[in-house]
Chains A and B, each alone.
Chain A
Amino acid sequence: MSGKKSEGKQSMPELAPEERIHSFDEVPLGYTPEMAVAEAKRCLQCKRPLCVEGCPVFVQIPEFIQLIAERKFTEAARMIKQTNAFPAICGRVCPQETQCEIKCVLGKRGEPIAIGRLERFAADWELQHNEVEPPERPEATGHSVAVVGSGPGGMAAAADLAMWGHDVTIYELFHAAGGVLRYGIPRFRLPREILDAELDYLTKLGVMLRTNFVVGQTATIDDLLEEHDAVFVATGAGLPRFLEIPGENMLGVYSANEFLTRVNLMRADRFPDYHTPVHCGANVIVIGGGNVAMDAARTARRLGSENVTVLYRRTRKEMPAREEEIEHAEQEGVQMHFLASPIEIEGDEEGWARSITCQQMELGEPDESGRRSPVPIEGETFTIEADTVIVAIGSHAHPLVPETTPDLEVSHRGYVAIDDTGATSKDGVFAGGDIVTGAATVIEAMGAGRRAAESIHRYLTDEDPPNGMSRSD
């Protein structure tokens, strides 16, 4: 690995697969300063940077990369933070390959700049060198905003609103903040020190956090509007979907949400030191082809399961998971079984799952998503052993807020309806993220949070925010 300008990007060192499955340590180890500088120097510094157009929050990519090339690492982190308060998270979990990096001119003939790795490097540098400083806040506006949900959408909105001088309180139903970053994404992809540090940054911006507060139960949106001037609903798509096949309520069958929450939030990996248990048998079947399925499968390997198999009804090409996640899962010994659609879970007398029967599928015509849709091959089924089954096929809109807010319009399948500005049908109430769009990515939720924050600022002050995402208008 030399620092010379080359067609290929600097590779990032990773924990060896055989070491990974014995710990929850982070897998990609990050660039060294030398690697980062060498990678940054590959950037062409385009006058009209296409990469920025691919970023949901318009990070000033060429500018921060130039600062890394000049070894001004902390300055680079602060440059990113002008438009994205959480670079250490986004550098890790964003699908850069389909957002900024796919637009990179270098990608046409060789490999694009490793924007995500550089973002992570700059953010980690600033954190590790204790150089995180909250930007100066303007004078308080006297306006108060409630943010419902402390996941990526809520965090991004809260950061912007606080930077523009508003009083912000985030309401979170769990006992710890972060939403899906806390209960869903495993620590080997996002170490909790990183999440805690980014949340700490929010507190430094003056954001208040109320945990153990279920909006829709502890208080309604109308109650919040009595104390706050505006509300941003970012509750996520929290209700897990099941397959609705026989045997799905057997013992040992989990939603990915439950399985991951038990491990990530409640630390079932350290049972009985931590008191929340989880069952993870020798033969684990994970159903689904997305990032959540990969997270669950890789977690099961780390809990000691020998045979972990992902069942997906299409083929590898159609898998919605990031390539990197699929590769990591395969390196860690997760098996992939394609063109398989579960039809029944069989169990023993005590009610424990023992096997799963699947319909063999083949690819047919493309569906509305453009992917070839799976079609059953008549009469071809097979059965495999399964003592733990993890269902990772997505989620439904969480019903608590819509159900308790009668004048909040919902669109298809219970998702909250918004206009172009993120405003809902209810005055002063805005929404964004998975509760509007259905399950999407962390950065898309952050983008929605930032757009809603702008609209909330305009709603409260009748003015444009000082440094909003002008390009989104």
Chain B
Amino acid sequence: MNEIVDREEIAPDTWRYVVRAPEIARRREAGQFVVLRVYDRGERFPLTVVDSDPDEGTIELIFQAVGTSTRMLAQMHEGDQILDLVGPLGRPTHIDKFGRCVVMGGGYGMAPVIPIARALKAAGNEIVGINGARSADQVILTERMEEICDRVEICTDDGSAGHKGFVTDVLQQMIEDGEQIDFVLAIGPTPMMRAVAELTRPHAIKTVVSLNPIMVDGTGMCGGCRVEVAGETKFACIEGPEFDAHEVDFDMLMKRQQMYSDMEGEARRMFKPHSTPLGKEEHPGCHCCEEDDNER
């Protein structure tokens, strides 16, 4: 179960995993996510499913190794099994024929954009992709975007690839140029999604964002993922993760995402990278490994 059949570092600290999960592969639709746990003392954390192959019974995950759990996941090897993998979770994206759609991703936020872009394309929309990252080596999934989209704009903060600037700068230019835009999908860091929402709001362009609040179970049981949308409390795990960007209280979302930032630092200090695959005998992040290290 949950065997890693392929893995590849597609950008610094950004990994693409193909995992055997036939039941999830069969059911999963664009916009849905899974919850993983990689170690018996580990956290449960969500990742969007980028793609799935029902015939092969596999799903594709792309993640950035930034926190304790994702760094542990990044250390696993081909053939290893992910301890717990559950899904698909969340509501699938509402796909419609909107007309001309702009799909934009910031950093590894590009990954969850892919399946939605593909579904929008299949529904007969014209797709413009905006693929943004900090610098050239962090621009991911360009080929796949080019396959799906009618046009792809690339931008980097430092100008090392494509336009110099943020994804919002590219979108703003498109709006100023009077390009027809019927629908915008933006996925990335919360400040980026908020900036997109503020940009499209005055033009009344329908804009959808995929939120990533803190989750525990991912099935509506805990309410940790609650967000305010149009003044109402919603559980992102079962009522989202996608919402109308113009109705989301981004300020609250950003604050809630910081709820454990002080403690996460503490957990990270406990984490020691391992050079060998993560097996049952190893407990990265716990005291036993530290003792081992001290002995050496």
Interface set of A (CB-CB < 8 Å, partner B): 173-175, 183, 211-214, 217-219, 238-240, 242, 244, 248-249, 251-252, 254-255, 257-258, 261-262, 266-267, 271-277, 279, 350-351, 398-400
**Does A242 lie within 8 Å of B216, measured CB to CB?**
no
Q: With a CB–CB cut-off of 8 A, which chain A residues contact B43?
A: 266, 275-276
A422 to B158, CA, bound (A): 64
Q: Are B256 and A351 in contact (CB under 8 A)?
A: yes
Check B266–A214 contact: CB distance below 8 A: no
Asked if residues B226 and A249 are in contact (CB atoms below 8 Å), the reply is yes
Are A258 and B216 touching (Cβ within 8 A)?
A: yes
- Contact among B86, B227, B286 with A175 in the assembled complex (CB-CB below 8 Å): B86
Asked if B8 lies at the interface with its beta carbon under 8 angstroms from chain A, I say no
Residues of B within 8 A of A244 (CB): 233
> Given the complex of chains A and B, what is the CA–CA distance between A174 and B83 in angstroms?
12
* Partner among B84, B86, B226, B260 whose Cβ is within 8 Å of the Cβ of A277: B260
A267 smallest CB distance to B (angstroms)? 7
Q: How far is the CA of A330 from the CA of B259 in the complex (A)?
A: 30
Verify A271–B256 contact, CB threshold 8 A. no
Given the known A-B contacts A217-B27, A242-B233, A351-B252, are A255 and B259 also in contact in the complex, defined by CB atoms under 8 Å? Answer: no
Residue of B23, B220, B228 with highest tally of chain A CB at under 10 A: B220
- SS of A interface (majority): loop
Assign chain B's interface to a size class: 35 or more
Report whether over half of chain B's contact residues are helix, strand or loop; otherwise say mixed: mixed
Complex Cα distance, B240 from A149, in Å, reads: 23
Q: Which of chain B's residues have a CB closer than 8 A to the CB of A398?
A: 220-221
- Contact residues in A for B165 (Cβ distance below 8 Å): none
B252 touches A218 (CB 8 A): no
Cβ-closest chain A residue relative to B88 = A217
**Contact B88–A267 (Cβ < 8 Å):** no
B223 touches A240 (CB 8 A): yes
Residue in B85, B86, B233, B256 whose CB lies within 8 Å of A251:
B256
Q: Which residue of B lies closest to A210 (CB)?
A: B23
The listed residue (A248, A266, A271, A272) touching B44 by CB distance below 8 A is: A266
Q: Are A249 and B252 in contact (CB under 8 A)?
A: yes
- Tell me the complex Cα distance, A218–B252, Å: 31
Question: Once the chains bind, are B88 and A275 in contact (CB under 8 Å)?
Answer: no
Which B residues lie within 8 Å of A351 (CB)?
252, 255-256
Partner of B41, one of A183, A242, A273: A273
With contacts A174-B217, A351-B255 taken as known, whether A214 is within 8 angstroms of B223 at the C-beta atoms is no
Q: Show 28 residue pairs from A and B whose CB-CB distance is below 8 angstroms, ordered by the A residue.
A: A173-B221, A174-B217, A175-B37, A175-B44, A211-B84, A212-B84, A212-B86, A217-B27, A217-B87, A218-B24, A218-B88, A219-B23, A249-B233, A251-B255, A251-B258, A255-B224, A257-B221, A257-B223, A258-B224, A271-B266, A275-B42, A275-B68, A275-B285, A276-B44, A277-B263, A277-B264, A279-B259, A351-B256
In whole Å, how far is B199's beta carbon from the nearest beta carbon of chain A? 25
Q: A242 touching B223 by the CB < 8 A rule?
A: yes
Whether B267 sits at the interface, judged by CB under 8 Å, is: yes
**Which residue of the partner chain, among A212, A238, A267, A276, contacts B221 with CB atoms under 8 Å?**
A238
What is the count of residue pairs linking A and B with beta-carbon distances less than 8 angstroms? 125
Contacts of A238 in B (CB 8 A): 219-221
Structural contact, B216 and A262, CB atoms closer than 8 A? yes
Q: How far is the CA of A399 from the CA of B238 in the complex (A)?
A: 9
Interface string of B37-63 (1 = CB under 8 A from A): 101011110000000000000000000
Residue among A218, A271, A272 having the largest count of chain B Cβ atoms under 10 Å: A272
The 4 closest A-B pairs by CB, nearest first: A351-B255, A258-B222, A212-B86, A277-B263
Judge whether A240 and B219 touch: CB under 8 Å: no
Once the chains are docked, how many angstroms separate the CA of A279 from the CA of B259?
A: 8
For residue B287, CB closer than 8 A to chain A, the reply is: yes
A273 to B283, CA, bound (A): 10
Question: Are B270 and A272 in contact, with the CB atoms below 8 A?
Answer: yes
A248 adjacent to B233 (CB under 8 Å) = yes
Question: A251 CA to B253 CA in the complex, in Å?
Answer: 10
A254: chain B residues at CB < 8 Å are 223-224
For residue B89, CB closer than 8 A to chain A, the reply is yes
Bound Cα distance from A242 to B83, whole angstroms: 33
Q: Which residues of B contact A211 (CB under 8 A)?
A: 84
User: What are the residues of chain B within 8 A of A174 when measuring CB–CB?
Assistant: 217
Please judge, given known A-B contacts A248-B233, A251-B255, whether A274 and B41 are in contact too, CB under 8 Å.
Answer: yes
B residues near A279, Cβ cutoff 8 Å: 259-260, 263
A261 pairs with B270, CB closer than 8 A: no
Closest B residue, CB atoms, query A216: B219
Taking the closest CB of chain B, its distance from the CB of A57, in whole angstroms, is 26
Given contacts A217-B27, A218-B86, contact A261 B220 (CB under 8 A): no
Chain A residues, CB < 8 A from B224: 254-255, 258
